[in-house]
């Protein structure tokens, strides 16, 4: 490239326009995709109250108390034998519904382990037993 009337000198300036264009396109791509890559989003879940479910048949109830003891209805079992016991109990049943009732002060890990054992026994529906919000506030007062 020559500049002016002198044919022997070359222009040594770098054309940065394509470089700036590419950088702006990359910036826009990262700005659009960055919010989609968020793994955990904090949400404020609504509080809800519901009426108790009316049922004519007696359901299987798994309970975890404050000392991490596990009960099937009123009979105490260890977590290691929970799956075997549930398989034997559910063998003759047509419905495979189980309800889990756990104390709110126990470790999350024990609840997950018990839920895993329940699901491993072939339980199709696992319900969580809770206290409605209005009743819980009355109990605390």
On the question of pLDDT at 19 being above 60, the answer is: yes
Question: Per DSSP, what are the bridge partners of residue 60?
Answer: 98
Angle at 136 between CA 131 and CA 141, to 5 degrees: 160
Rounded percentage of the chain residues whose pLDDT exceeds 90: 8
Fold type of domain 60-140: Nucleotidyltransferase; domain 5 (3.30.420)
Closest listed residue to residue 64, CA positions, set 83, 78, 45, 51: 78
Residue, of 37 and 23, whose pLDDT is higher: 23
pLDDT in the model for residue 72 = 86
Please state, as a whole number, how many other Cβ atoms lie within 10 Å of the Cβ of residue 97. Answer: 15
If pLDDT is split at 50, 70 and 90, which confidence band does 24 have? Answer: very high
What are the residue boundaries of the structural domains of the chain, listed by start? 2-37, 60-140
pLDDT in the model for residue 23 = 93
pLDDT in the model for residue 41 = 35
Break the chain down into helix, strand, coil percent, rounded to 5.
40, 20, 45
On the question of pLDDT at 84 being above 70, the answer is: yes
Q: Tell me the DSSP string of 27-85.
A: HHHHHHHTGGG-------PPP---PPPP-SSPPEEEEE-TT--EEETTEEE-HHHHHHH
In contact, 62 and 103? CB cutoff 8 Å: no
Residue, of 83 and 73, whose pLDDT is higher: 83
Q: Is the pTM of this model over 0.75?
A: no
- The average pLDDT across 34-59 equals 54
Length of the chain as a residue count? 141
Residue, of 85 and 11, whose pLDDT is higher: 85
- The average pLDDT across 83-111 equals 84
- The average pLDDT across 43-57 equals 51
- Range of 44-53, 115-124, 128-137 with top mean pLDDT: 115-124
């Amino acid at each position: 490239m020559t500049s002016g009337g002198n044919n022997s000198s070359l222009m040594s300036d770098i054309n940065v326009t394509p470089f700036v264009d590419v950088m702006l396109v990359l910036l826009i791509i990262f700005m659009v995709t960055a919010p989609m890559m968020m793994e955990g989003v904090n949400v404020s879940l609504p509080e809800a109250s519901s009426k108790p479910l009316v049922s004519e048949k007696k359901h299987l109830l798994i309970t975890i108390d404050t000392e991490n003891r596990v009960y099937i209805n009123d009979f105490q079992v260890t977590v290691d034998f929970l799956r075997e016991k549930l398989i034997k109990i559910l063998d003759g049943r047509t419905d495979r519904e189980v309800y889990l009732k756990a104390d709110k002060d126990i470790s999350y890990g024990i609840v997950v382990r018990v839920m895993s054992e329940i699901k491993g026994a072939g339980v199709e529906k696992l319900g969580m037993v809770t206290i409605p919000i209005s009743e819980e506030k009355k109990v605390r007062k």
